[in-house]
A and B are shown apart, each in its own frame.
Chain A
Amino acid sequence: MMSNNRGEYASPSLWLSALRQDGLWLSQLQQLQDPKADVSALREVAMRKIGQGLTFEFWDSYRHQVEPVVMEVWGIEELTLPKLKIQTIGMLSMEWIEQQTTTTKKTKLETDEAKKYWLRLEEAGFTDANCALMPETTRKQAMYIAELFAEKLGIKSKWKIFEQLWGISNLAQEKWDMQETGSTPSRSKEIDKIFED
């Protein structure tokens, strides 16, 4: 059972490591891993744990990364450790749920249907054999590919998964720009053809 005394931990990282080994988090993890678990109910419980206070604001601004949030809140020292513990379990639960969702989506990109499109994209020179973007593929083309890919495979929240896969950001902004200017990316007709049928 981990101590609630800040003095027992030389740093917030050590506290977080101890929490990851703590019985309370491990039992929470077991619930999350249960194949019969109701994910939306677990998500709701996790969000309630995080609350709507300072921790939530940091969690939101650090784009759901747990460690920097803990560092920030630890530094302010106004919040008690028992409360931060429960909030952090909420954040760790959300991290787990989000990772699982991303993994599920990623597997969609490995189906036979997906492989067919990846091969065509590679032949056309947009991506390489590892599904990575070629240097000459523009951000606008990447957005266009992600959009059509997601449509074909029924992937929701497509930007996040393709941003992670290709290591780029703000694809949604590219889409918005395209809608604003009304111009499609170069070679868009070729991309349309790749995703035909």
Chain B
Amino acid sequence: MKHTKTAREMLAQIENDFFKGARLAKAILLKGDERRVFKLAQVERLLTEQHGSSPLAMRLSDMFWTADEGRVQMEPVNPLLSLTDQQTLTDEEMQQLRLILEVAGLCHDVSLHFTFDLKEAFGIRKDDFWVSNKQLVEWLNTTAYERIAMHTAYTMKKFAIGVYEYGHYLPAQDELAELFSLEYNELVRMPDNTKIPPRAYVRTILDALLAIERHWQRGRRLKLRPDLVILHDEIYGVVPRQFDKGVLEAAQALFDYMDTQLQGRLVLKEYNFNASSWDEQPESVRRTWDEVLHRFAEKVREVRSAYLAEGWVTDDSVAFSYLMAHAERCGQGWWREEDDAL
């Protein structure tokens, strides 16, 4: 299916709907930092102005691309993205189109929380969405573009969740997934769905990310193995802000057991990788699984009575559940993979 509008008509419509009063004709001459600042101002405005329940930024992005990561063209393809149709535009119109696409691209990535080129967008040297990127953190805390800062902070949270999920660091993943602002007594939802003021919103996310990062820095200084740090935090059921000696001893006892008695015990040649549910696994697999994990659960109870105070790591706690998940992965061979990084 083809668009009924010509490229020129479409360009005029977009200018009218999204850039009225923005002086695009003048802005096309801007270069370097001035051009970057112009684009940020436009994105900030488009993130702030609403059309129905969604910001204009998302509508502008929808004119060209789907909500998928990258640049998947919307059907029917916008004539402004067709090389043939673009040839019907004058040089000046093409320059305007280039600028519009730069703004729309940033609107797409920022409003849908995909990572983007930080150097291109914010003029930041290090292209990294991790909280250790000091220049990025400073930019977010001080910028006048508060909506962009909120969305970018949310993207950092989403990015960190992905990293922690991949690293099987469950307490951190859950802390960020259900991040709660005690100050505003509110869950940290997406920026378009929060009552938390912009600065506080950004600060809440960055504080949470920084606290986890600092905890790991402390762990590295103490030369703790990554699996030991994770076991320590799993015993807490959250990411604590310090390392406790007694809890570390308990974690070490579990670490030693996992290292010698558990690692790889669930790598079974009878395991059916095509099974669509657990019930379809051979009986021998299910039996071994049960036995191995029951033994680990017993070990947790033993460690609990030896090292921890009453109320810690009860069978029905998140902490116990985290440890069991860790044991399952260890049994499947996910163990001490990051030791080389120490």
Identify whether the interface residues of B are mostly helix, strand, loop, or mixed: helix
**Nearest Cβ distance between residue B74 and chain A, in whole angstroms?**
23
| Among candidates B158, B277, B290, B317, residue contacting A8 with C-beta atoms closer than 8 Å | B277
Q: What total of chain A residues lie within 8 Å of the partner, measured CB to CB?
A: 30
A54 lies within 8 A of B177 (CB): yes
| Among candidates A1, A5, A10, A83, residue contacting B174 with C-beta atoms closer than 8 Å | A83
Interface-located stretch among B75-83, B96-104, B196-204, B320-328: B320-328
**Nearest Cβ distance between residue B155 and chain A, in whole angstroms?**
13
Residues of B within 8 A of A76 (CB): 177
Is B289 positioned at the interface, with any CB of A under 8 Å from its CB? yes
**CA of A86 to CA of B320, assembled, Å:** 10
B328 lies within 8 A of A9 (CB): no
| Among candidates B161, B187, B322, residue contacting A82 with C-beta atoms closer than 8 Å | B322
Is A99 positioned at the interface, with any CB of B under 8 Å from its CB? no
Task: Classify chain B: how many residues form its interface, as a range.
Answer: 20 to 34
A86 lies within 8 A of B178 (CB): no
**CA of A27 to CA of B297, assembled, Å:** 15
A8 lies within 8 A of B278 (CB): yes
**CA of A57 to CA of B180, assembled, Å:** 12
B318 lies within 8 A of A86 (CB): yes
Is B229 positioned at the interface, with any CB of A under 8 Å from its CB? no
Within 8 A of A (CB), among B152-185: 158, 161, 165, 170, 173-174, 176-178, 180
Is B294 positioned at the interface, with any CB of A under 8 Å from its CB? yes
**CA of A85 to CA of B322, assembled, Å:** 10
Q: How many A-B residue pairs lie within 8 Å, measured between CB atoms?
A: 77
**Nearest Cβ distance between residue A134 and chain B, in whole angstroms?**
43
**CA of A81 to CA of B178, assembled, Å:** 13
Is B315 positioned at the interface, with any CB of A under 8 Å from its CB? yes
Is B316 positioned at the interface, with any CB of A under 8 Å from its CB? yes
0/1 string, B258-291, CB within 8 A of A gives 1: 0000000000000000001110000000000110
**CA of A14 to CA of B293, assembled, Å:** 21
**CA of A78 to CA of B178, assembled, Å:** 9
A54 lies within 8 A of B178 (CB): yes
**Nearest Cβ distance between residue A74 and chain B, in whole angstroms?**
13
A1 lies within 8 A of B277 (CB): no
A81 lies within 8 A of B325 (CB): yes
A83 lies within 8 A of B328 (CB): no
Residues of A within 8 A of B165 (CB): 78, 80
B173 lies within 8 A of A78 (CB): yes
**CA of A79 to CA of B176, assembled, Å:** 9
**CA of A14 to CA of B176, assembled, Å:** 26
B293 lies within 8 A of A1 (CB): yes
Given contacts A51-B178, A54-B178, contact A1 B290 (CB under 8 A): yes
| Among candidates A9, A14, A51, A82, residue contacting B325 with C-beta atoms closer than 8 Å | A82
Residues of A within 8 A of B293 (CB): 1
**CA of A49 to CA of B187, assembled, Å:** 16
**Nearest Cβ distance between residue B167 and chain A, in whole angstroms?**
12
CB-based closest 4 A-B pairs:
A53-B178, A82-B321, A78-B177, A4-B325
8 contacts between A and B (CB under 8 A): A4-B324, A8-B277, A10-B277, A49-B316, A51-B178, A52-B187, A82-B170, A83-B322
Q: Which residues of A line the B interface, CB within 8 A?
A: 1-5, 8-10, 14, 18, 24, 27-28, 49, 51-55, 57, 76, 78-83, 85-86, 89
